[in-house]
Amino acid sequence: MELHILEHSLKVASIAKEGIQICTHGLIKLAFLPSKTRCKFFSLTETPEDYTIIVDEDGFKELPESEYLSVADATWLALNVVSGGGSATSSQPIGVTKIAKSVIAPLADHNISVFMLSTYQTDFILVRERDLPMVMHTLSSEFTLLRVVNGEAVAANSTGVTNGFVKPKLVPRPIIHPLSSPSNMFCVTSLDPDTLPSVATLLMDVMFYSGGAKEAAGQSEDSGHIRFFSFSLIEGYISLVMDEQTTRRFPNNVLFTSASGELWKMVRIGGQPLGFDECGIVAQISEPLATADIPAYYISTFKFDHALVPEENIQSVIGALRTNESTGQ
Amino acid sequence: MSSGYKPDILWSPHHADRYVICDTELSLYRIGPSGSSETKAGALQLSEETAATLLAINSDTPFMKCVAWYPKHEPECLLAVGHTNGRVVLTSLGQSHNSKSKDLAGKEFVPKHARQCNTLAWNPVDSNWLAAGLDKHRADFSVLIWDISSKFSPEAVPAEKVRLSGDADSGLLVTKPLYELGQNDACLSLCWLPRDHQKLLLAGMHRNLAIFDLRNTSQKTFVNTKAIQGVTVDPHFQDRVASYFEGQVAIWDLRKFEKPVFTLNEQPKPLTKVAWCPTRMGLLATLTRDSNIIRLYDMQHTPMPFGDEVEPTIMERGVQPCSESIISSFAWHPSAQNRMVVVSPSRVMNDFTLFERISLAWSSTTSLMWACGRHLYECAEDSGQAAEAEKDIATKMRERAQSRYGHDTVQVWRNHVLAGGDDPQLRSLWYTLHFMKQYTENVEQKQQSNKQSLIYSGIKNIVKSSSGTTETRRCWSGSDRQTDVPRFHSEERSLALQLCGWISQGPDTDVEPFLKSLEQEGEWERAAAVALFNLDIRRAIQILNKGASSEKGDLNLNVVAMALSGYTDEKNSLWREMCSSLRLQLKKPYLCIMFAFLTSEPGAYDGVLYESRVAVRDRVAFACMFLNDAQLPRYIDKLTNEMKEAGNLEGILLTGLTKDGVDLMESYVDRTGDVQTASFCMLKGSPGEVLKDPRVQCWIENYRNLLDAWRFWHKRAEFDIHRSKLDPSSKPLAQVFVSCNFCGKSISYSCSAMPHQGRGFSQYGVSGSPTKSKVTSCPGCRKPLPRCALCLMNMGTPVSSCPGTGKADEKADLTRDKKLAQFNNWFTWCHNCRHGGHAGHMLSWFRDHSECPVSACTCKCMQLDTTGNLVPSDSV
C-alpha cells in the first residue's frame, strides 16, 4: 500500500451562517471557476451550525477577513491511501473502513489528531503539518510513503525520527461523544466537471439559500431531518453529498449514480463542538464498523463529525456503536 | 481524449476511405477524389484532390466521452462509445442490416459506480475484450475489461441491488466486467501492448504508468510519473511508448521502464493528442490546445535504447495544414504515406499529406542522391552538356590525378599538358617552375650557390636586390638610325629574363632561340612583339610575314608588317599620330603593344605594361628591359599585388614560392578550390617555411583526403612518396610494430638494431637466399613466431606459392611482382579473434570464405574489416 502525502497546505475554517453573504463571491469563484484561481483543494460542507471550508493556501486568499470567519490555527496536510497493487480482494471494504485499522487506529494510538474528509473518489486524512514526522514514523511500517512534489510522487523517508516519542497506548477505545442519527437519507455522488456550469445556479441555490423560505431550519430539526450538504472540488474532481430530496432537483443524467443506487444514513458525532485537539474520535467510530465490515464515509466539520453508512446497515451500526459505548462506560 | 464538444476524428481500421467525426454525434464520412462521379453535390472539399461524402449519422449517444472502433473486419462499423457516466455502449453506423452487428449494437456495459469514462481500447487480437479507463472512485476500480460476448448480468450481483435506471431490456446490460484493475485510482489512458496482446495492458493511472499482466492481476509493473495521458505504442517499434502530461511528451522504452528515455521540448499549451505515424517509422505527431500547428518529431535516427550520456537526435518541425483555423483533432491515414485528416472545432475538415524531409548526399565523384519518403532519386550529370560547360574542379582534379598530373619532375613544364593543356595560368605556373628548376640545376653545376636561394623567391625579390644597372642605347638592328630608347642591364635583370623564358642560360642574351620556339608554336604576334622589344624591327616584320604566309595564317599580319615598316621616330609625324590612335582598335594584344611601344615616350610604357591581355611574363620581361631602377620595383610590386588579389597563377613568377606566393595561392584556391595544383606547386618550394605554412599543410592534407575519398589509394601513396622526397619532414614514422608473445619485445625493433638484416619486419623471410638465416623466431628470446593459420608454417617463412622470390636478390630492382611478393609475407591478423598468418594466404582465403580459417572459429573476420571489401578505383 502507498500513502501519498499531498502537497496542499490546507486551512480549515468555519463561516457562521449569518456571515455567509460576505464570503459568497470567493466561494463561488472557488467552486465554479477553478480556472480563475490557483486553488486545487476546496471543500465546503454545510451543517445546521455553520459552513466548514477546507481550502489550500491559494484558495484561502479568496476569502475575506471577517468576524464571521474563524480559522483553525494549524496548517493541515492531506494524506491519501492508494492501493499500490491490484490485489484488493473482491469483497470491498469501502472508504474509511478500509483504512481504519491501518491508518486511523495507529494515529489515534500515537495521539495524533486527524480530520477526515471522504469524497466520492477517495478519502483524505488531514493531519497537522507539525505532526508529520510523527505520522510518518507511525505509518512507515505499514505503507510506502510517497510525498507529492509538483504533481510527481517521490519517496519520502522519515529521517530525523528517533526515540522520544510516546509509546502507543493500546487500550480499547470507548465512544465518548453522544451520537445521533437524523432521519433523512443521503446520496454520495459526483458529476462531470464539463457539466458543472449547467447546474451551477442550482448548486448555488442549494449551497447558500437552503436556510431560506423553502424549509425552516427549526422545522427540519424537529422532524429528525438535518440540513447537510457537502461540495468538494479537489484536483479537478467534484464530489457531492446531499440528501435524497435535494438530488431530485437535479436534471437526469447529470449526477453520477451507482448501478445499485445506494443511499446512506448519517451518524452524527458530538453534543458539544469537538475541537481539534482531541484524538481518537474517528477511530472510535471506524474501528467497530471495520470489525463489522460495514462501509462508511466520514466527514469532519469544524464542530462535529459525520459518518455515513448504508441505509440497510444503520441499525446494526447503531447497535455496534452502542455496544462499544456501553463497554466503555 | 476528446472533451465531448470538440470534434475528434477516428479512421476506420479496415477501410482506408472511411472515417468518423465525433462530437455530440457520430458522423461517418467516405473520402474520395473530388472530381469523381461518385461524389455528389453535397460532398465536402477536403483538399485540391479529395472530397468527403457523409454516409451516416448516429446521434444516439449525446454524452460521449471517447470512442473506439472495433478492430475486426466484421461487423465493420461497430463503435464502442464511452460516456460521461462511465457506461460503455456499442453502437453501429450505417450498417443496420448487418445481423452480426445487430447482436452487439446497443449493448451497454455499466460500472458499479458512475464516473467519467476517459478512454477505451479494444484488444487487437481477442476482439471480444474491450478495456475501459474510468475516473477514480473511492471504492471501485478504474480499469474495467468487458467481454462484449457475455450475454447476461452474472448472478454474482444481487438482483435486488440492481436498480438500473430506466432500461427495460436487461439482456443488453452487462454489469460484471471480466477483469477489474486499479483500485482507488483514476485511469486517464490505456492501450494494449502489441508484444503480448492478450495479456498486457498499459494504463496511465493516477500518478503512474502501470503495466498489468492479466494472467496475474496482482502483479503489475509501474513507474511514477506525471506523464500519464495518451499512452500509445509506436506501431513500428513495440517497445517504444509515448505519453504526455500538459505540454510535455515523454518517450518510454518498455525494456527500461524506470524513467522516460527522453522527453520532448515542452509546449506552452497543454497537449490534446499524440499519435505515432502508422506509415513511417518513428514519426510522432502532437497537437496542443487551440493551436493551428501540428508538431512532428522525427525519431528515426534515435537509437533505442540509448545511453544517458547521448543527446537524442530528434528533429522537430511544425506543419500548418490549414492556414488560419485552429485544429481540434487529427488522424493519420492508416495506409497512405504521411497523410492525415485534420478537423477544426467547427468541423471543417482538411486532408493533407505531410511532405517528407529531403536528405541529400553527394558522392565524392559528383553524383548526387536524394531521398524523399520511400523514394530514392539519383541525379547524374548530363554528359552531353558537361562537355560544353566547364567541368567542376573536382572532376578536373580527378581526371588530372589519373593522368599523373604533377608527377613529371624532369620536364616540369609538361605538367600543364598532363592537366589538359588548356589553362594558360597552369601553363605559366609550370613553365615558371620549370625555369626555376632548370636554373637551379645549372647553378648547381657551376657551384654558384649564392643565387640559388634567390631563384625560388621570385622576380620581385630578385629585382629588389638589383645593383649596378647599366644603361645602353642601341640602334635598331637592321637600321642605322640611332634610337633614344634606353635599355637597362644588370645581372639580376638578366636572371629575371631567364625566368621569363626570353633568354636561356649563360652569358648569351640572344632571344633568337625563344623567337624560334614561338614561331614553331605559331605564336606569330608574340614572337613579333618580342623581336620588336629587342629592337629588331626587321626580324619582327619577317616574323609577321612568315605568320601571314603560314597555314591558317592571318593575312592581316602582312598589313601590320607594312604599318610597322613605316616606323619613324619623328615626333609629329602622321604615322605616329595614326598609330597611337588606331592601335587601340587592334584585336590582338601583342600587335597593340607593339605600336604602343613604338609610339610611347621612353620610360612611359603604360600602354604596354598595363595591357592585361598580355602574358605577365612578357610584361615583366619588358619591364626588366625598359624600366629604370626606380620604376621597376614599383611596377613589379603593383603587379604582384594585383596578381595576389586575383589569385592569378602567372603571378608565381613574381612572388616565387615564398610567403607571398602562398598568399597568392591562397586566393587562387579560394577562387577555384584546386588544392591539387596548390599542393604540387608548394611542394616544389625548397624553403622549409613555405611547407610549414599551415595553409600549405591544409591543402596537402585535403588533397590526400580527396584521393582517399575517390579510392585512389595508389595515387595517394604515390603522392606521399613524391611528397616525402621533396619534404623529408613528412616521412611517416613506423606505425605498426610486431611484438613477440613471449618476451614482448618488438621484432622489427630488434631487427633494425642489426643493420645487415634489412630495414623492417616486412622483409622477414623475403630473403630466400640460403646464406641468410630465415627469421622464424623472435630475435630477442629465440622463441618461434606464431604459425600461419593456413600454411601452418612459422611466420617468417616465405610464402610457398611465390617461388620467384626465392632467387631474387633483396637489392634487386623492386618490380611490381616483387613488391606484391613482399606484401604476401606480411603478418596479418584479425583484431577480433586474433588468428592470422601470411597476408597473401589470408587474402586468397577470404576471397572465397567469410569465416576465419582456423577451424572452430566462427569469427567473420573480413566482414569486421569495414574497408576490407572496398576496391581501389585506380590502377597501380
Distance of CA A191 to the CA centre of its chain: 18
Eight-class DSSP state of B372 = E
A87-141 tens-digit pLDDT: 444 445 555 667 777 788 888 888 888 888 988 888 899 999 888 888 888 888 7
Written as nine digits, the cell of A216 is: 425552516
Given a contact cutoff of 8 angstroms between Cβ atoms, the answer to whether B131 and B192 are in contact is yes
- Alpha-carbon distance A265 to nearest alpha carbon in chain B (angstroms): 17
The answer, yes or no, to whether residue B640 has pLDDT greater than 90, is yes
Which residues between 209 and 268 in chain B have a beta carbon less than 8 angstroms from any beta carbon of chain A? Answer: 212, 217-220, 222, 224-226, 245
Crossing angle of helices B574-582/B589-599, nearest 10°? 140
Give me the mean pLDDT over the B304-314 stretch.
64
Rounded alpha-carbon distances, angstroms, from residue A84 to A3, A46, A213, B210, B218: 9, 34, 49, 10, 10
Give me the mean pLDDT over the B722-737 stretch.
77
Contact B165 A85 (CB under 8 A): no
The pairing of strands B173-174 and B368-372 is: unpaired
d(CA B594, CA B567): 11
Which of A152, A195, A262 shows the shortest C-beta gap to B224?
A: A152
In terms of C-beta density within 10 A (0-12 exposed, 13-18 middle, 19 or more buried), how is residue B364 classed?
middle
The answer, yes or no, to whether residue A85 has pLDDT greater than 50, is no
What number of CA atoms fall less than 13 Å from residue A217's CA on the CB side?
12
Report the pLDDT value the prediction gives residue B444, as an integer from 0 to 100.
66
Report the pLDDT value the prediction gives residue B100, as an integer from 0 to 100.
60
Disruptive mutation site among B2, B84, B112, B113 for chain A (greatest number of A CBs within 10 Å)? B113
Which of B137, B163, B217 shows the shortest C-beta gap to A86?
A: B217
The pairing of strands B8-11 and B18-22 is: antiparallel
Which residues of chain B are within 8 Å of residue A154 when distances are taken between CB atoms?
Answer: 224
Least confident piece of the model among A1-15, B362-376, B542-556, B814-828 = B814-828
d(CA B846, CA B835): 13
Which residues of chain B are within 8 Å of residue A84 when distances are taken between CB atoms?
Answer: 222
d(CA A233, CA A53): 12
Q: What is the mean pLDDT of chain A?
A: 80
Report the pLDDT value the prediction gives residue A214, as an integer from 0 to 100.
46
Disruptive mutation site among A80, A90, A92 for chain B (greatest number of B CBs within 10 Å)? A92
Residue of A nearest to B112 (CA): A259
- Alpha-carbon distance A100 to nearest alpha carbon in chain B (angstroms): 14
Least confident piece of the model among A40-54, A285-299, B607-621 = A285-299
Eight-class DSSP state of B798 = P
Residue of A nearest to B180 (CA): A86
Disruptive mutation site among A143, A194, A258 for chain B (greatest number of B CBs within 10 Å)? A258
In terms of C-beta density within 10 A (0-12 exposed, 13-18 middle, 19 or more buried), how is residue A169 classed?
exposed
Identify which of A120, A145, A98 has the alpha carbon closest to the alpha carbon of residue A233. Answer: A120
Q: Which residues contact A321 (CB under 8 A, 6 or more apart)?
A: A175, A179, A267, A285, A288
Contact A121 B226 (CB under 8 A): no
The answer, yes or no, to whether residue A287 has pLDDT greater than 70, is yes
Which of B116, B138, B220 shows the shortest C-beta gap to A85?
A: B220
Residue of B nearest to A146 (CA): B224
Which residues of chain B are within 8 Å of residue A86 when distances are taken between CB atoms?
Answer: 141, 180-183, 212, 217-218, 220
Identify which of B118, B206, B6, B3 has the alpha carbon closest to the alpha carbon of residue A235. Answer: B206
Disruptive mutation site among B184, B246, B258 for chain A (greatest number of A CBs within 10 Å)? B184
The answer, yes or no, to whether residue B220 has pLDDT greater than 80, is no
User: B535: part of which helix (H) or strand (E)?
Assistant: none
Residue of B nearest to A91 (CA): B139
B250-273 tens-digit pLDDT: 988 888 888 888 888 788 888 999
Q: Could you state, in order of their start, the residue ranges of all structural domains in chain B?
A: 467-628, 733-750+783-792+825-875
Domains of chain A: 2-155 (3.30.2130.10), 179-207+225-326 (3.30.2130.10)
More confident residue, A47 or A92: A47
Report the pLDDT value the prediction gives residue B229, as an integer from 0 to 100.
87
Written as nine digits, the cell of A176 is: 465518548
d(CA A93, CA B75): 41
d(CA B401, CA B177): 79
Given a contact cutoff of 8 angstroms between Cβ atoms, the answer to whether A115 and A300 are in contact is yes
Number of CB atoms found within 10 A of residue A160's CB: 8
Band (pLDDT 50/70/90 cuts) for residue B158 is very low
Contact A121 B137 (CB under 8 A): yes
B592 appears as a binding residue in the annotation: no
Q: What is the mean pLDDT of chain B?
A: 79
Report the pLDDT value the prediction gives residue B162, as an integer from 0 to 100.
42
Report the SS3 class of residue B448: coil
Given a contact cutoff of 8 angstroms between Cβ atoms, the answer to whether A238 and A232 are in contact is yes
Q: Is the Cβ of A85 closer than 8 Å to some Cβ of chain B? A: yes
Band (pLDDT 50/70/90 cuts) for residue B95 is low
Report the pLDDT value the prediction gives residue A159, as an integer from 0 to 100.
55
Which residues of chain B are within 8 Å of residue A261 when distances are taken between CB atoms?
Answer: 163, 165
The pairing of strands B836-838 and B827-829 is: antiparallel
Beta strand extents in chain A (DSSP E only): 2-16, 41-46, 50-56, 69-71, 76-82, 114-118, 123-128, 144-149, 152-155, 179-180, 185-189, 229-234, 237-243, 264-269, 297-300, 305-310
Give me the mean pLDDT over the B672-698 stretch.
84
List, as one string, the DSSP characters of A240-291. Answer: EEEEHHHHTTSPTTTB---TT---EEEEEE-SS---SS--SHHHHHHHHHHH
B861 appears as a binding residue in the annotation: yes
Q: Is the Cβ of A194 closer than 8 Å to some Cβ of chain B? A: yes
Report the pLDDT value the prediction gives residue B702, as an integer from 0 to 100.
93
Report the pLDDT value the prediction gives residue B37, as an integer from 0 to 100.
55
Contact A258 B112 (CB under 8 A): yes
Q: Is the Cβ of A196 closer than 8 Å to some Cβ of chain B? A: no
Q: Is the Cβ of A82 closer than 8 Å to some Cβ of chain B? A: yes
Residue pairs spanning A and B at CB distance below 8 A: 104
d(CA A66, CA A23): 9
Written as nine digits, the cell of A234 is: 479537489
The answer, yes or no, to whether residue B375 has pLDDT greater than 70, is yes
d(CA B140, CA A259): 12
The answer, yes or no, to whether residue B304 has pLDDT greater than 70, is no
A212-266 tens-digit pLDDT: 544 444 444 456 788 899 999 998 889 999 988 888 888 877 888 766 677 888 9
Band (pLDDT 50/70/90 cuts) for residue A55 is very high
My answer on whether omega of the bond before B75 falls inside 30° of 0, hence cis, is yes
Number of CB atoms found within 10 A of residue B41's CB: 4
Report the pLDDT value the prediction gives residue B303, as an integer from 0 to 100.
66
Disruptive mutation site among A80, A103, A120 for chain B (greatest number of B CBs within 10 Å)? A120
d(CA A304, CA A286): 15
B66 appears as a binding residue in the annotation: no
Written as nine digits, the cell of B163 is: 436498480
Contact B224 A253 (CB under 8 A): no
Least confident piece of the model among A151-165, B118-132, B536-550 = A151-165
Give buried/exposed letters for A115-143 (b at 16+ CB in 10 A, else e).
bbbbbbbbbbbbbbeebbebbbebbeeeb
- Alpha-carbon distance B21 to nearest alpha carbon in chain A (angstroms): 20
Written as nine digits, the cell of B338 is: 504521411
Report the SS3 class of residue B53: strand
The answer, yes or no, to whether residue A2 has pLDDT greater than 60, is yes
Which residues of chain B are within 8 Å of residue A119 when distances are taken between CB atoms?
Answer: 138
Written as nine digits, the cell of A125 is: 486524512
B372 appears as a binding residue in the annotation: no
Least confident piece of the model among A53-67, A103-117, B149-163 = B149-163
Give me the mean pLDDT over the B328-347 stretch.
88
Q: Which residues contact A123 (CB under 8 A, 6 or more apart)?
A: A80, A81, A95, A96, A98, A99, A116, A117, A298, B138
User: What whole-number percentage of chain B has pLDDT above 90?
Assistant: 7
Contact B164 A88 (CB under 8 A): no
A167-192 tens-digit pLDDT: 555 667 788 888 888 888 898 888 88
Q: Nearest 5°: phi and psi at B583?
A: -60, -30
The answer, yes or no, to whether residue B124 has pLDDT greater than 80, is yes
Which residues of chain A are within 8 Å of residue B136 when distances are taken between CB atoms?
Answer: 121-122, 237
In terms of C-beta density within 10 A (0-12 exposed, 13-18 middle, 19 or more buried), how is residue B830 classed?
buried
Q: Which residues contact A141 (CB under 8 A, 6 or more apart)?
A: none
State the ipTM, two decimals: 0.79
Which residues of chain B are within 8 Å of residue A253 when distances are taken between CB atoms?
Answer: 63, 85
Contact A256 B185 (CB under 8 A): no
User: A136: part of which helix (H) or strand (E)?
Assistant: helix A132-139
Eight-class DSSP state of A191 = B
Written as nine digits, the cell of B488 is: 637597362
Distance of CA B134 to the CA centre of its chain: 52
Give me the mean pLDDT over the B787-796 stretch.
83
Rounded alpha-carbon distances, angstroms, from residue B858 to B390, B450, B786, B854: 53, 68, 20, 8
Residue of B nearest to A235 (CA): B206
Contact A153 B208 (CB under 8 A): yes
Report the SS3 class of residue B78: strand
- Alpha-carbon distance A274 to nearest alpha carbon in chain B (angstroms): 26
Residue of A nearest to B156 (CA): A90
Which of B175, B181, B245 shows the shortest C-beta gap to A259?
A: B175
Report the pLDDT value the prediction gives residue B159, as an integer from 0 to 100.
40
The answer, yes or no, to whether residue B31 has pLDDT greater than 60, is yes
d(CA B117, CA B81): 9
Report the pLDDT value the prediction gives residue B165, as an integer from 0 to 100.
41
According to DSSP, the residues that pair with B243 across neighbouring strands are: B250
B475 appears as a binding residue in the annotation: no
Disruptive mutation site among B2, B136, B137 for chain A (greatest number of A CBs within 10 Å)? B137
Report the SS3 class of residue B557: helix
d(CA A289, CA A286): 5
Report the pLDDT value the prediction gives residue B368, as an integer from 0 to 100.
84
Report the pLDDT value the prediction gives residue B762, as an integer from 0 to 100.
43
d(CA A134, CA A156): 13
Which of A152, A192, A237 shows the shortest C-beta gap to B225?
A: A152
Contact B114 A192 (CB under 8 A): no
Q: Is the Cβ of A237 closer than 8 Å to some Cβ of chain B? A: yes
d(CA B835, CA A195): 77
According to DSSP, the residues that pair with B133 across neighbouring strands are: B119, B143
Residue of B nearest to A261 (CA): B163
User: B65: part of which helix (H) or strand (E)?
Assistant: strand B64-69
Given a contact cutoff of 8 angstroms between Cβ atoms, the answer to whether B586 and B595 are in contact is yes
Residue of B nearest to A236 (CA): B135
The answer, yes or no, to whether residue B480 has pLDDT greater than 60, is no
Report the pLDDT value the prediction gives residue A45, as an integer from 0 to 100.
92
Report the SS3 class of residue B224: strand
Written as nine digits, the cell of B313 is: 537526435
Report the pLDDT value the prediction gives residue A73, as an integer from 0 to 100.
82
The answer, yes or no, to whether residue B812 has pLDDT greater than 50, is no
Band (pLDDT 50/70/90 cuts) for residue A160 is low
Q: Which residues contact B202 (CB under 8 A, 6 or more apart)?
A: B190, B191, B192, B193, B209, B210, B211, B231, B233, B241
Residue type, A59: G
Identify which of B165, B200, B203, B172 has the alpha carbon closest to the alpha carbon of residue B186. Answer: B203
d(CA B538, CA A49): 136
Which of A150, A154, A256 shows the shortest C-beta gap to B114?
A: A256
B352-364 tens-digit pLDDT: 888 887 888 887 7
- Alpha-carbon distance B141 to nearest alpha carbon in chain A (angstroms): 9
